[in-house]
Amino acid sequence: QVTLVESGGGSVQAGGSLRLTCVASGNSYPMYCIGWSRQSAGKEREVIAAIEPDETTVYADSVKGRFTISQDLAKNTYYLQMNDLKPEDTATYYCAGNVVADVCELDTGRDIWGQGTLVTVSS
């Protein structure tokens, strides 16, 4: 009943920036424990950032200091600002969340997933 749609991916040179957007639509607002994850060929999916409605955030060490997760709850929209991009950041990026509140960690299971948006970082 809730749909998440990511956008903002593309191709960028190393050291550049991109801002990903995730828009939630449908019922069952708000979403809880919204996380941004990424996956590339040959690697496991990695949850890199998460945010709660109270603005609590958590980041994976691989992106801490470079990426920032944020939200605009009035617009049902979630963002991932990615700075100082590196070739190893190349992946398909997904947003996901839950419709009920519970413990929220990076590895928390999430029920609702978007379709993903591709980010390619060239050297």
Gap between the Cα atoms of 112 and 96, Å rounded:
5
pLDDT on residue 24:
93
pLDDT by residue (tens digit) across 38-81? 999 889 999 999 999 899 999 999 999 999 999 999 899 999 99
pLDDT on residue 28:
63
pLDDT by residue (tens digit) across 4-36? 999 999 999 999 999 999 999 987 667 899 999
CB atoms within 10 A of CB 105: 11
Q: Grade residue 1 by pLDDT with cuts at 50, 70 and 90.
A: confident
Residues, the chain: 123
Residue 84 and residue 95 in contact, taking contact as beta carbons nearer than 8 Å: no
The whole-number average pLDDT for the span 76-102 is 96
